[in-house]
Chain A
Amino acid sequence: MSLYQVQKLIYQLNRDPRTRQRYAEERHAVLGEYDLTPEEVGALEKPDIGLLYVLGVNGQLLMHFAALHRIEWTDYLDRMRQGLKAYGPVREGVYAATGYEGIEAHDARLKAEREAR
Chain B
Amino acid sequence: MPLVYCGACSHAPGITGRAERAERADTQTRQALESAFRRMGDDIRATRPDALVVIAAEHFANFFMNNMPAFAIGMADSYQGPIEDEAFLRIGRTTVPGNKALSRRLIENVMQTVDVAYAEEWQFDHGISVPLHFLTPDYDLPIVPANINCQGPPLAPLARAWAFGEALRRAADSVPERIALIGTGGLSHWPATPDSGKINQEWDREFLRRWSANDREALLSYSDAETYREAGQGGFEIRTFIAAAAAAKGAKGTVDFCEPVPIFAVSCTLGSFQLPVA
Contacts and interface: CB of A to CB of B under 8 A. Distances in A.
B190 A98 contact: yes
A8 B64 contact: yes
Interface string B134-156: 00000000000000000111000
Given A15-B61, A67-B84, A96 B26 contact: no
B83 interface: yes
Contacts of B66: 8
B262 A64 contact: no
Interface in B187-210: 190-199
Contacts of A19: none
A32 interface: no
Contacts of A114: 26
Nearest to B61: A15
B193 A58 contact: no
Interface string A11-33: 10011000000000000000000
A110 interface: yes
Contacts of B199: 106
Contacts of B59: 60-61
B263 A58 contact: no
Contacts of B190: 98, 100
B41 to A, nearest CB: 26
Contacts of A100: 190, 194-195, 197-198
Contacts of A68: 85
B194 A94 contact: no
Contacts of A80: 193-194
A60 B236 CA distance: 13
Interface residues of A, number: 36
Interface in B1-46: 17-18, 25-26
A46 interface: no
Given A100-B195, A106-B197, A94 B85 contact: no
A64 B197 contact: no
A4 interface: yes
Contacts of B17: 73
A70 to B, nearest CB: 8
B60 A15 contact: yes
A103 B192 contact: no
Interface string A78-98: 001100100000000011111
Interface in A42-73: 53, 58-64, 67-68, 73
Given A4-B65, A14-B60, A58-B60, A97 B123 contact: no
Nearest to B152: A58
A8 B152 CA distance: 12
A59 B197 contact: no
Nearest to A83: B194
Given A15-B60, A73-B18, A98-B190, A64 B195 contact: no
A67 B83 CA distance: 12
B153 A64 contact: no
Contacts of B85: 64, 67-68
A63 B151 CA distance: 14
A62 B59 CA distance: 11
Interface of A: 4, 7-8, 11, 14-15, 53, 58-64, 67-68, 73, 77, 80-81, 84, 94-103, 106-107, 110-111, 114
21 contacts: A7-B64, A8-B65, A14-B60, A14-B83, A60-B59, A60-B60, A64-B88, A67-B85, A67-B87, A80-B194, A94-B228, A94-B233, A100-B190, A100-B195, A103-B196, A103-B197, A106-B198, A106-B199, A107-B26, A110-B260, A110-B262
In the A-B complex, the 4 residue pairs with the smallest Cβ-Cβ separation, listed nearest first, are A59-B192, A60-B59, A100-B195, A103-B197
